[in-house]
Amino acid sequence: MKSRFVKISTRIKVLSAVAGIVLAGAGAYAATNWVVGVSAGSSGQSQSATISNLSITAVSSPSPTNLLYPGGTGDVIVTISNPNPYPVTITAVQLPTNTTYATGYTTSALTTTQTGCLAATPSAVAWNFATGTSGSSHTLTTPLTVGASGQANNPLAVTLTNDASMGSTSPSACANTFFSLPALTGVTATGGAATSTTTPATDAWTS
Amino acid sequence: MLGSLAIAPAVDAASNWVVHVASTNSGEAKATVLPAAPASPAAACTSPASNKTIKVTWTAVTHATTYTVYQSTTSATGTYTPVATGVTTTSWTSGTTAGNYWFKVAALIGTTWTSPESAATTENTISASSCAAN
């Protein structure tokens, strides 16, 4: 019986490895869930599990301390939800290019766009420290750990201090406007035992 | 040998699970309001009066990168035209052309965020040989 279990387990390992290779080749940040094999340690057996993507959502609370102005930087507020049954720790983010701009909205609900302050205008609002290359990686000052699904500190509200920038050419229509920052191209995150970060948190990347 | 294949590329060496983010993620930021008009603009003849120039001063506006100075030569409520742009300090000194002068100031953040014009200063007069407040 034990021998049979090991064989099944080995098949799962092989299938999982192949699945991982295929999915990685298809795009490291696909929106779909991943099913991959995970080593169970010294026993040599393995398990398979579903790893779900984190959700990062724009929110208006807590209120940003630093507001954007032409030539300046401002805070970005997010909540991070972790649907997985274990904590997830984020150590870095990957940004779109520095010419991928935010869209302006009339209210914090981000439902009605602000005339004259759109991504295509452009608003000149982008992620701070973004470069001309999509996917540039930026390390958080402090790792963020989102609690397991259904546990405390999930979702985790985070103020990213001065991690948005506004170019000096931003049109005056962008004054007193709320922005939805362009999507991150990825995050560096791992799931596993860790103490969750207390919400609301403050963090940043500074280079 | 097969066991070595158990760790897929998406799993790190510490046996932790590599987690990704949904592609529709976003964050929210807010921009401040347009700058307010510079407060307390004042104009006074420089010393000695024989310099025949007027120094205009005002209070700094938060985040302002430059200021524009406007003048009227007819009245406090007359037509104001720009006489200095791109001023990076909180004062500006006029030329020596004779006339009656009132001034206003506006702040600029970046290239397009302009404040309203300030209140007008009091009148100063430059004559052929001197400058005096009226």
B118, B122, B126, B132 alpha-carbon torsion, rounded to 10°? -150
Whether A172 and B34 lie within 8 Å, measured CB to CB = yes
Please state the pTM of the whole predicted model.
0.80
Chains A and B form CB pairs within 8 A to the count of 222
Whether residue A46 has pLDDT greater than 80:
no
Helix (H, G, I), strand (E, B) or coil at B120: coil
CB contact under 8 A, B29 and A54: no
Which CATH number goes with the domain that contains B108?
2.60.40.10
- Residue B20 domain flag: no
Residue type, B107: A
Domain that holds residue B106: 42-127
Which of the four pLDDT bands, split at 50, 70 and 90, describes residue A35?
A: very low
Is the distance from CB of A169 to CB of B112 less than 8 angstroms?
Answer: yes
DSSP output for A75-130: EEEEEEE--SSS-EEEEEEEE--TT-PPEEESSTT--SBPTT-STTTT--EEETT-
Residue B13 in any domain: the answer is no
Top pLDDT among A46 and A197 is at A197
Q: How confident is the model at residue A49 (pLDDT cuts 50, 70, 90)?
A: low
Residue of B4, B19, B88 to mutate for A, most A C-beta atoms under 10 A: B19
For B23-37, the pLDDT digits (tens) are 889 999 999 999 999
pLDDT for A48 beyond 70 = no
Lowest mean pLDDT among A65-79, A137-151, B2-16, B31-45: B2-16
Q: Do A125 and B15 touch (CB under 8 A)?
A: no
Does B18 reside within a domain?
no
Specify the DSSP class assigned to residue A63: P
Residues of chain A with Cβ-Cβ distance to B24 below 8 Å are 31, 183
Domain assignment present for B7: no
Q: Which of A15, A113, A190 should one mutate to test binding to chain B, selecting the residue with the greatest count of B CBs within 10 A? A: A190
pLDDT of residue B16: 61
Judge: A74–B29 Cβ closer than 8 Å, yes or no: yes
Question: Cα(first)–Cα(last) distance of chain A, in Å?
Answer: 56
Residue A50's pLDDT band (cuts 50, 70, 90): confident
Establish if B11 belongs to a structural domain: no
* A141-145 long-range Cβ contacts below 8 angstroms, 24+ apart: A141/A203, A141/A204, A141/A205, A141/A206, A142/A197, A142/A203, A143/A89, A143/A90, A143/A91, A144/A80, A144/A89, A144/A90, A144/A197, A144/A201, A144/A203, A145/A87, A145/A88, A145/A89, A145/A90, A145/A194, A145/A195, A145/A196, A145/A197
The overall average pLDDT reported for chain A is 82
B46-95: pLDDT as tens digits: 999 999 999 999 999 999 999 999 999 999 999 999 999 999 999 999 99
Is residue B58 domain-resident? yes
B24 → chain A, closest CA residue: A183
B27 located within any domain:
no
In a domain, B69, yes or no: yes
The distance between the two most distant Cα atoms of chain B, rounded to a whole number of Å, is 101
Tokens 């790190």 appear where?
A: B12
First to last CA, chain B: 98
Q: How far is CA B12 from the centre of its chain?
A: 51
Amino acid at B8: A
Given A72, A170, A190, which is nearest B18 (Cβ)? A190
How many domains in chain B? 1
- Given a cut of 80, is residue B8 above it in pLDDT? no
> Which amino acid belongs to residue B33?
V
Structure token pair of residue B76: 């406090």
CA distance B42 to B58: 6
Which residue in the set A88, A179, A183 is minimally distant from B30, CB to CB?
A179
| CA atoms of A93 and A189, how far apart (whole Å) | 9
B17 touches chain A (CB under 8 A): yes
Do residues A159 and A77 lie in contact, with contact meaning Cβ atoms separated by under 8 Å? Answer: yes
In this predicted model, what pLDDT tens digit does every residue of A118-129 receive, in sequence order?
Answer: 999 999 999 999
C-beta separation of A46 from A13 below 8 A: yes
